[in-house]
Every structure is written in C-alpha cells, then in structure tokens.
Amino acid sequence: MNVAKRRLTIWGALLALLAAGIAYALRPQPIQVDLAVAETGTLRVTIDEEGETRVRDVYTLHAPLRGQLQRITAEPGDVVMTGETLLAQIEPAAPAFLDARTEAELQAAVEAARAAYNLAAAELNKAKADLTFVEGERARARMLIERRTISQRSLEDAERAYNVAEANLATAEAGLKVREHELHQARSRLLSRQDISSRSGACECVAVTAPVSGVVLQVIRRSEGVVEAGTPLLNIGDPADLEIVVNLLSEDAVQIRPGKKAIITGWGGEDLKAVVQRIEPFGQTKVSALGIEEQRVDVVLDFSDGPEHWRSLGHGYRVDAHVILFEGKVLKLPLGVLFRQGNEWAVFVAEDGRARLRPIVVGQRNSLSFEVRNGLKSGEKVILYPSDRITNDVAIVER
C-alpha cells in the first residue's frame, strides 16, 4: 500500500471516529427527575391561625363614686375572696381651687348671710320685748278680772296677745337658727384645701371589696389620685378557667362547626387538644398588614386536656390553633406533583423510564399533601415538581 492510500485510510478512520463521538454526545439524554411514591397515610386538613388565651369570665372592678383613691397595693396573681378581700379605698376628694371672681362671690354671700343673721337676731330681740310686754298685760288683766273691773273679753284678748307673742318668739328663734346655719354654709364654701385637711380626722373611706373570688389579673389604676365614678381599677378572674379565641377569615369560619377538634401548638409546651365551642355571629372588618380589608370572625375553643397540661398559660397568651376539617387514612401524594391539564388535575407517572401523563381526581388537601381519589394506585411513582421539559413519553431517570 502506497503512502497516499495509507494517509487516506488513517484520515478516514479519524473522521469516522469523530463523527461517532459527535453522534454519541448529541444523542437524546434522559431527564433527571425527583420522584414521589403514592402511598396510604394519614392526611390532616386544618385551618391554621394565631390565637389568644383568655379567662372565660373577666370582672372589671370600677370606682363606685368620685373621690380620692388611695394607692392600690394588690398585685397581679393575688388570690381574692368575694366580699372579704379589700382591694381599694376611696375618700372624699378635696375641693377645687377658687378663682378671684368665685372667691369674691362667696365672700359677698358670707356678708349677706351675716346681715341676714343680724336681722334675725334683731327680730328675736323684738319678739322677746313684745312677749315681756304682753306678759305684763296678761298679769294685770287677771288681777283686774278678780276685782270685776274689766270684762271677760278683755282678759281673753290679753291671753290671745300673750300666745301670739310667744309664738312670734319661737318663730324668731327658729329664724335665727336658720340664718346661723346659712352663715356657716357660706363660710364653709370659702374653706381652703389646707383648712379641710387640718380639720379632717379619721378617714371616712368607702371600702371597695372583691366582687367575685379569683385572682387579680391586672391592676389598671394603681397610683393615688382623684378618680371619677366608673373608673376601671382592677381585672379579676379565674386563670384555671381559660378558653382560646381565634380570629379567622369569614370564608374559613363558615367551614367550621361547634364540636370540631383542634390542635394547639406554638405556646412553649407540648401540643394540646381543643374543641370548637362556638363561632361568634358577628364579624368585624380589619385591615391586614398588606393594607387589605378583611372580614374576620372570632371562633372560641375550649381545652380538651386538663388544666395540669396548660397550667403555665395565662390570660392573653399567644398560641397557634389548627382547627381540623378532615383527618383520615387516604392515598396521598405531595402537593408538588400536581398541575392543571385543561380543566383537570394531572400528574406525570414514571413507567419504564418514561414520563406518562395521567389525569387524576383530587380529594382533600392541605398545604403539603393531597388525597388521590382516582387515577393512581398505591406504590406508583410520580414526578415531583415537573418542569416544562417534562412531556408525555419523554425519557427520564431518577436523580
């Protein structure tokens, strides 16, 4: 074989080898995928929301009247008994400061009361003088009637004049007492706060006792000071009688009925069991953190576990509530295998190294898994999170 033929043979072999390598590199490669297995297990569908514990019956103690509240020494957690535990004391409040015009008006009222008192005293002296005069006239009339010098009518006139003068004296004495009290009343309006403090003796306080037995939950007003009637002072309740209130969206609340079970988590201890006690019939409009108006409804839950399991909880503690809508054994798959195919739900099933498109019927589902009611059998493998490269009958290999 000459040199030309040898070179041609070598270069031909090299070109053939290169073409074979390029063809091998460009051949269709199976797509690597993650697979999930359809298997029977427990599926739980819940409505999840933050909740808050609260004492079922909270009693707010209010000030019964306006006055000077003495400092409240009760502390949250103190045990109180109905009608026995003294929680607060209220004494009469000091009067307000007088401005110049009001003080001048009150001074004038004192002077007027003093003048009226003097007038009443003068009228009393006149009544005494009249009584003395008619008393002498009556004595003379009695003496003269014995001598038969005057008529019986003159004696009766003298007796009547004496009785009238005696009544006038009593009226004048009563009028003087009235004017005296009016003078004291006018003077009392001018008493200063210092005068009142110096004259006050023992405190005639109104004692405010516990309306119910329980524990002090919160001291709303502790410091001493003037309070108006109806001012809230303390909150009292029984921390062993707790319930949970959950503020749900109205579209979630309509799916719940009294008696539904719930799981309580996120409170710092083991999971607790609860049951829906009632759904409030009144909704409120609230604005979410994103500025969206939402209709919210309060759902109240009761603990199913005994107090020994949640004794460390108190009024106003945060918890996570999971109200169970469905719980049972079903054929389930992760939610990541599911996608829409037209108007149906579908998945890609791994069969003999190929992806097979298969429509399925979906039942209950939560945020992680869903129930397969029809279209799959237990043990079949399904592609998890299929990309746009996955099509029907494409070659696949498990990652």
The reply to whether 298 and 354 lie within a common domain is no
| Position 198 in a domain | no
From first to last of its 399 residues, the chain has per-residue pLDDT tens of: 566 777 777 777 777 787 777 766 666 678 888 999 999 999 999 999 999 999 999 999 999 998 889 999 999 989 999 988 999 998 887 777 777 888 788 888 888 888 998 998 999 899 888 888 888 888 888 888 777 777 888 878 888 888 888 898 899 899 989 988 988 888 887 776 666 666 555 556 888 999 899 999 999 999 998 899 999 999 999 988 999 999 999 999 999 999 999 999 999 989 999 999 999 999 999 998 888 999 999 999 999 988 888 989 999 999 999 999 999 999 999 999 999 988 899 999 999 888 999 999 999 998 899 999 999 999 999 999 998 888 898 888 888
Residue 359 to residue 14: CA distance in whole angstroms: 50
Domain count within the chain: 4
| Position 25 in a domain | no
According to the model, what pLDDT value does residue 185 have? 86
Residue 61 to residue 81: CA distance in whole angstroms: 13
Q: Which of 274, 304, 328 is where one domain is finished?
A: 328
CATH number, position 278: 2.40.30.170
CATH number, position 65: 2.40.50.100
Residue 367 to residue 49: CA distance in whole angstroms: 14
The reply to whether 318 and 382 lie within a common domain is no
CATH number, position 36: 2.40.420.20
| Position 156 in a domain | yes
Q: Which residues make Cβ contacts (< 8 Å) with residue 114, sequence separation at least 6?
A: 183
| Position 130 in a domain | yes
The reply to whether 63 and 104 lie within a common domain is no
| Position 1 in a domain | no
According to the model, what pLDDT value does residue 194 have? 64
The reply to whether 69 and 114 lie within a common domain is no
| Position 300 in a domain | yes
28: nearest Cα among 368, 398, 399, 397: 397
The reply to whether 311 and 389 lie within a common domain is no
According to the model, what pLDDT value does residue 388 have? 87
The reply to whether 151 and 218 lie within a common domain is no
The reply to whether 180 and 113 lie within a common domain is yes
| Position 262 in a domain | yes
| Position 9 in a domain | no
Is the whole-model pTM more than 0.75?
no
User: What tokens does 250 get?
Assistant: 């109205």
Q: Which of 313, 328, 343 is where one domain is finished?
A: 328
Beta-strand pair 396-398/31-37: parallel
What is the domain range of residue 282?
47-55+239-328
Q: Are 323 and 260 in contact (CB under 8 A)?
A: yes
175: nearest Cα among 117, 130, 131: 117
User: What tokens does 326 get?
Assistant: 């469905």
Residue type, 83: G
399: nearest Cα among 390, 391, 372, 333: 390
